């Protein structure tokens, strides 16, 4: 039998857990690199870049190469961030006993 009260309680619990995950993600940092580690970017999982480290040997290099390496490192950090968010969200869904692969959900 359909239990609306139970479903509402589960929805509230899921909303609370989702808020917890979002707060946690603000504190998680990921790092990515390009150029064999010559450019490193540190990014929080809320999308803020907190640090860019450029190897000294690149300082005298041409501007275009440096720009390309920075862009690649930022893009790599963004992909790493997205993977971490998926992982944290999956863990939250699993803890609630919900399907974390999207199957069984009506949306």
What pLDDT is stored for residue 106 in this prediction?
Answer: 47
Residue 78 in any domain: the answer is yes
| Residue 47 Rama label (left phi>0; alpha psi -120 to 50; beta) | left
Domain with residue 41: its CATH number is 3.30.1310.10
Number of domains present in the structure of the chain = 1
Per-residue pLDDT of the chain (107 residues; tens, 9 = 90+): 567 888 788 788 888 888 888 888 889 999 999 999 999 999 999 999 999 999 999 988 899 999 999 999 999 999 999 999 999 888 888 887 777 665 555 44
Residue 40 in any domain: the answer is yes
- Residues 11, 17: Cα–Cα separation, whole Å: 10
* Token pair 């005298």: residue: 60
- Residues 45, 42: Cα–Cα separation, whole Å: 10
| Alpha-carbon radius of gyration of the chain | 20
């Amino acid at each position: 039998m359909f239990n609306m009260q139970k479903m509402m309680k589960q929805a509230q619990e899921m909303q609370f857990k989702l808020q917890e995950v979002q707060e946690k993600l603000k504190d998680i940092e990921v790092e990515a690199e390009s150029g064999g580690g010559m450019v490193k970017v540190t990014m929080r999982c809320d999308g803020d870049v907190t640090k860019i480290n450029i190897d000294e040997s690149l300082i005298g290099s041409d501007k275009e190469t440096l720009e390309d390496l920075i862009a690649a490192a930022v893009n790599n950090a963004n992909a790493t961030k997205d993977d971490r968010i998926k992982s944290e969200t999956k863990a939250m869904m699993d803890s609630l006993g919900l399907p974390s692969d999207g199957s069984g959900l009506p949306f």
